[in-house]
Structure 1
Amino acid sequence: MTARGTTTASRTVTGTPSGTRLAGIDAARGLALLAMMATHVLATFESDPQLTPTWIGLAFSGRAAALFAVLAGVGLGLSTGKQQPLQGPELWAARRGIALRALVIGAVGLSLGGLEVNIAIILVHYALLFLCVLPFVGLGGKRLLMLAAAWILASPVLAYLLRPWLLSADPPLRLGHNPSWEDLATPARLLGDSFLTGYYPVLQWIAYLLVGLAIGRMALAKAAVPFLLLAAGTVVAVFSKWLGTVTMEDWGGRQSLEAQIGDPAYPLASLLQVNLAGVDQSGSVWWLATSAPHAGTTLDLLHTSGTAAAVIGVCLLLGRLGNWVELDLLLPLRGAGAMTLSLYTAHLCIMGALHDQPLLRGWTVEGVYWAQALGVLATGAVFAALAWRGPLEWVTHAANQVGSYRPAQVRQPSRFR
């Protein structure tokens, strides 16, 4: 859902693979798209009273959407100077382009908000995230990492303090549905839901874009950087998930929260493994100690940022391997990743058409997913091979170009005296 990256893995005259980095980033986007689609189509819980998590829920819930957000930050870092952030008029032009692109994405999201789907659509939040990080796109990698660390620590606490106040308003500042054009008539509810009370709380999710910006400021073409991302991301992800498990299971956090909820319809042990979205996380500071997906806590942000960094490292390594063996192993994935806005929109429209409709004879839910997944990969491969942009990517690219346009400076001829 970001600007289209390089789609051919070429070599410079020195033999350095010039397209490897962007091919890996686009492939990571394609992987994130497939994982998000899996959580949309396939069950994340078994249909039993205990809501036993499925492997789809355990593997992808929370992590796929976070990977999308981190990759948004990576894309912004790459488009605003890479290791040398833009400054001065160039930076302001880039900010204007990003802002106009965000408005287009937001308009698409609001239009899709009217679909009858049992899916939390991310596009409006995605657009707001782009706008919120505009002040930070001129920062270098070290400052971005420090800011991301501070945001990961502070924003969950601030959200925990503010959410009860927003939910106690009359009416509560929560939509309960995907944002649509009609919600512009109630801006307080729309903003309250988008930033704090909804499925993708922008206040905490800004951390993902800051992490992604910091990754985008790294020398991703260097051989050691993908290994660093893989190793550091894995360590952070494992440590934060381990600490969250300790706080809930060994230190009594889950028992305390179960006593507070007191509702057997919410088997907390399962929800902590898959998804805390929709659970009222107030009334106990133990809510801040979990690493559950979609909890928006410090440990959740750390875990999902770590897994995103590790996946990006793996995809960069695979892209490099493809250049070494002269075989574009990532063509379908990177092609899909270069047009995620178009493919994500098409997926939502398909799911809207299937909503509350019986499946055709012989079809299963798994078949519906794999048909869409194969369609995504095939479409991505064709568009990448032909070096085409996706239709909505053309629109966002044009918006970016219009927003970042700077008239050429005309030098006045000197006058002879």
Structure 2
Amino acid sequence: MTPRGMTTASRTAKATSAGVRLAGIDAARGLALLAMMATHVLATFESNAQLTPTWIGLAFSGRASALFAVLAGVGLALSTGKQQPVEGSALWAARRGIALRALVVGTVGLSLGGLDVSIAVILVHYALLFLCVLPFVGLGLNRLLVLATAWILASPVLAYLLRPWLLSADPPLRLGHNPGWEDLATPARLLGDLFLTGYYPVLQWIAYLLVGLAIGRMALSKAATPFLLLAAGTTVAVFAKWLGAVLMEDWGGRQALESQIGDPAYPLGSLLQVNLAGVDQSGSVWWLATSAPHAGTTLDLLHTSGVAAAVIGVCLLLGRLGEWVELDLLLPLRGIGAMTLTLYTAHLCIMAALHDRPLAPGWTVEGVYWAQAVGMLVVGGVFAALIWRGPLEWVSHAANQVGRYQPARGRQPARFR
């Protein structure tokens, strides 16, 4: 039954309205990819002894990749019932589809692992995250919020306790490179790196997908939801960064860590502002008190999750603004966001081709970034306008559809009347 007085045209308009508003999710994903590319191409530290952070490092490091992961959770929620998670056989079908999609993403990631490029490729971790959250895709909003909070509080402590044990193994359970096909021959080392010792530790990063699942279970098409995400996300992000600064600077955390390191020339202050990935965060519980990007601590997860929620809120609001002025303001960005796997792969291939080679005359590093960014905006806009899928998105969608296939049971043939 339909509400009294609602015509077919009005129902169609309502569905289109909701679709335009949720296009902000794709736009946020496109923004995340552009920001991740900025940290790949442009300098995050000045080339001096102090490693002075650049504005790119201060603005995007840690936040861009976290937004990407949170949006993965949002996408899973939207594909498994939105506010009302699917149940029963439909839930198991959705899980099979997600697992096969993860297989496609992981295959692409392992293939890209052989590229000669100084970029930490996220795709294998991304695929493993999909598999790890399969038990949770059937949960509702309240349970997801409780689980995400518990994970943000507990997983960094568990990682702090387990990392020294993994790194003391012989050989240490850390790859030191992007996962590739050859690493399947040493599964313990590969899993240790993916879950705990690598650039994107899955154990803590599960929190991002749980946050994203919770956001996706909200009524995103309602007028108040984007404002709630913006306000709550900003509050959490500011609080986490403020508390991290208090613990490090006012309560003596940074001094304790500098004393443990024992090297006056070590640029700890700069690393705490931009990137702690690869730093041995063991030997002092003060490492758990930082809010530094890629620290994987509770405050880091809180801050970056809050930023992600706020950005999603802004993009949803921009989508609604575009609806009001009858202009798709987000078309190029949501075009990028709808084909991130293809464009991310293309970006890595371009950077591999340029790795350790002099740039062509007249080109700068900034020019390399903007050429890719503008190219992606154009390609994404065209694909979005024509409602096309990217090549790799087509493959992952097909895999998802194969996994979700449910043969009809007990269906009786139609009888002629």
TM-score by length of 2: 0.95
Residue number in structure 2 paired with 1:52 = 52
Label 1:179 to 1:410 Cα distance change in 2 as closer, same or farther (>3 A). same
Task: Output one character per residue of 1:349-368: Cα deviation in whole Å (capped at 9) or x when no partner.
Answer: 00000000000001000000
Give 1:313 shift. 0.1
Q: Distance in 2 between matches of 1:47 and 1:237?
A: 29
Residue number in structure 2 paired with 1:6 = none
Q: Distance in 1 between matches of 2:304 and 2:51?
A: 23
The answer to whether 1:196 aligns with 2:196 is yes
Residue number in structure 2 paired with 1:288 = 288
Give 1:266 shift. 3.1
Residue number in structure 1 paired with 2:124 = 124
The aligned runs of 1:220-299 (5 Å cut-off) are 220-264=220-264, 266-299=266-299
Structure 1 unmatched ranges of 5 or more: 1-9
Residue number in structure 1 paired with 2:165 = 165
Label 1:13 to 1:379 Cα distance change in 2 as closer, same or farther (>3 A). closer
How many residue pairs get aligned? The number is 405
Label 1:266 to 1:12 Cα distance change in 2 as closer, same or farther (>3 A). farther
Give 1:139 shift. 0.2
Give 1:412 shift. 4.9
Q: Distance in 2 between matches of 1:14 and 1:335?
A: 22
- Are the counterparts in 1 of residues 22 and 221 from structure 2 also a CA contact under 8 Å? no
Residue number in structure 1 paired with 2:7 = none
Q: Over aligned residues, Cα RMSD in angstroms? A: 1.4
Amino acid at match of 1:152: I
Amino acid at match of 1:56: I
Structure 2 unmatched ranges of 5 or more: 1-9
Residue number in structure 1 paired with 2:146 = 146
- Are the counterparts in 1 of residues 113 and 179 from structure 2 also a CA contact under 8 Å? yes
Amino acid at match of 2:215: I
Give 1:325 shift. 0.4
Task: Output one character per residue of 1:17-60: Cα deviation in whole Å (capped at 9) or x when no partner.
Answer: 12123310000000000000000000000001000000000000
Residue number in structure 2 paired with 1:3 = none
Residue number in structure 1 paired with 2:363 = 363
Give 1:14 shift. 4.9
- Are the counterparts in 2 of residues 28 and 334 from structure 1 also a CA contact under 8 Å? yes
- Are the counterparts in 1 of residues 22 and 220 from structure 2 also a CA contact under 8 Å? no
- Are the counterparts in 1 of residues 36 and 64 from structure 2 also a CA contact under 8 Å? yes
Give 1:259 shift. 1.1
Label 1:383 to 1:168 Cα distance change in 2 as closer, same or farther (>3 A). same
Task: Output one character per residue of 1:71-118: Cα deviation in whole Å (capped at 9) or x when no partner.
Answer: 000000000000100000000000000000001100000000000000
Q: Which runs of 4+ in 1 moved over 6 A?
A: none
Secondary structure, aligned partner of 1:48: coil
Secondary structure, aligned partner of 1:49: coil
Give 1:211 shift. 0.2
Q: Distance in 1 between matches of 2:407 and 2:371?
A: 47
The aligned runs of 1:77-116 (5 Å cut-off) are 77-116=77-116
- Are the counterparts in 2 of residues 11 and 19 from structure 1 also a CA contact under 8 Å? no
Secondary structure, aligned partner of 1:146: helix
Task: Output one character per residue of 1:249-300: Cα deviation in whole Å (capped at 9) or x when no partner.
Answer: 1100001101111235531100000000010000000000000000000000
Task: Output one character per residue of 1:170-226: Cα deviation in whole Å (capped at 9) or x when no partner.
Answer: 000000000000000000000000000000000000000000000000000000000
Residue number in structure 1 paired with 2:332 = 332
Q: Distance in 1 between matches of 2:117 and 2:263?
A: 27
Residue number in structure 2 paired with 1:61 = 61
Residue number in structure 2 paired with 1:408 = 408
Residue number in structure 1 paired with 2:25 = 25
Q: Distance in 1 between matches of 2:257 and 2:44?
A: 22
| Fraction of identical pairs, as percent | 87
Q: Distance in 2 between matches of 1:406 and 1:364?
A: 53
Q: Distance in 2 between matches of 1:264 and 1:129?
A: 38
- Are the counterparts in 2 of residues 166 and 173 from structure 1 also a CA contact under 8 Å? yes
Q: Distance in 1 between matches of 2:38 and 2:217?
A: 31
Amino acid at match of 2:122: I
- Are the counterparts in 1 of residues 193 and 201 from structure 2 also a CA contact under 8 Å? yes
- Are the counterparts in 2 of residues 11 and 17 from structure 1 also a CA contact under 8 Å? no
Label 1:16 to 1:389 Cα distance change in 2 as closer, same or farther (>3 A). closer
Q: Distance in 2 between matches of 1:397 and 1:391?
A: 10
Secondary structure, aligned partner of 2:18: coil
Residue number in structure 2 paired with 1:380 = 380
TM-score by length of 1: 0.95
Q: Distance in 1 between matches of 2:365 and 2:246?
A: 36
